[in-house]
């Protein structure tokens, strides 16, 4: 039997590419996505992507979406309590694995694995160890299209906010910035790619600075239908 997998979905390129790769594995069936959303701003945590766009992504991916609402600000204790409740629900649903788009940060991987110990759910990391200088180009050449939604101005110029993730952008990144943004330099929103059955039409709205980060507000152009959100 295939392993029933839920994918941690950030709305960005790494989780989207993880979905693309997981679907190529015969022993795995991705049965849904899960995402944490800020209750106050109704946006994806850190990426600041509107819930409406998140739901459109799940629709384009053809997968149900579990939204885990978290308070703002959110303490680690609050976060872990809500995730523990979600894990318990997933046990009842006979989920075999959680998949994550992490690339090489050992402490993040260890944290995820430790929180799943003893629950019967395995952690998968389909992108783990892939050289990011190569992976970023593979994504672009593989028809993934994304825009940068969040910039850490301590690591990367705010001028990159809202820009498309493409070869031109990668060529302009400073040499000390990871080209996949794995150290938090930037976060993204995917609006097209082989993991979707159609593109998501968006426009770039206001660029604002808040809580030490720079955010580009992406706005949906199309809004239609009711999509499966758990």
Nearest Cα residue to 60 out of 200, 190, 201: 200
Q: What is the pLDDT of residue 229?
A: 37
Q: What is the pLDDT of residue 225?
A: 42
The domain ranges of the chain are: 3-220
Task: Give me Rg for the CA atoms of the chain.
Answer: 17
Q: What is the pLDDT of residue 59?
A: 97
| CB atoms closer than 10 angstroms to residue 95 | 21
Q: What is the pLDDT of residue 72?
A: 80
CATH fold for the domain made of 3-220: Rossmann fold (3.40.50)
**3-state SS, residue 43:** strand
Contact assessment for residue 184 and residue 152, using Cβ atoms and an 8 Å cutoff: yes
118 sits in the region (left: phi over 0; alpha: psi -120 to 50; else beta) called: left
Q: What is the pLDDT of residue 224?
A: 42
Kindly give the confidence (pLDDT) of every residue in the chain, 230 residues in length, as a single tens digit, with 9 standing for 90 and above.
899 999 999 999 999 999 999 999 999 999 999 999 998 889 998 899 999 999 999 999 999 999 999 988 889 999 999 999 999 999 999 999 999 999 999 999 999 999 999 999 999 999 999 999 999 999 999 999 999 999 999 999 999 999 999 999 999 999 999 999 999 999 999 999 999 999 999 999 999 999 899 999 999 985 444 433 33
Predicted structure pTM score: 0.94
Q: 164: which DSSP letter?
A: B
Kind plus residue range of the DSSP H or E element containing 202: strand 202-210
**3-state SS, residue 48:** coil
Q: What is the pLDDT of residue 222?
A: 59
């Amino acid at each position: 039997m295939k392993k029933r997998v839920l994918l941690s979905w950030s709305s960005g390129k790494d989780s989207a590419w993880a979905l693309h790769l997981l679907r190529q594995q015969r022993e795995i069936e991705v049965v849904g996505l899960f995402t944490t959303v800020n209750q106050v701003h109704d946006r994806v945590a850190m990426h600041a992507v509107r819930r409406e766009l998140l739901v459109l992504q799940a629709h384009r991916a053809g997968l149900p979406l579990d939204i885990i609402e978290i308070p703002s600000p959110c303490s680690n204790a609050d976060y872990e309590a809500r995730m523990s409740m979600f894990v318990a629900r997933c046990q009842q649903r006979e989920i075999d694995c959680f998949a994550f788009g992490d690339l090489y940060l050992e402490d993040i991987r260890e944290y995820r694995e430790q929180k799943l110990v003893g629950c019967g759910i395995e952690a998968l990391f389909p992108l783990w160890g892939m050289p990011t200088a190569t992976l970023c180009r593979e994504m672009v050449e593989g028809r993934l299209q994304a825009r940068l939604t969040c910039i850490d101005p301590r690591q990367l110029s705010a001028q990159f906010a809202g820009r498309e993730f493409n070869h031109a952008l990668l060529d302009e990144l400073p040499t000390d910035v990871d080209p996949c943004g794995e150290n938090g330099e930037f976060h993204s929103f995917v609006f097209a790619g082989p993991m979707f059955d159609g593109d998501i039409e968006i426009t770039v709205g206001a660029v604002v600075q808040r809580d030490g980060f720079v955010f580009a507000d992406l706005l949906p152009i199309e809004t239609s239908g009711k999509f499966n959100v758990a």
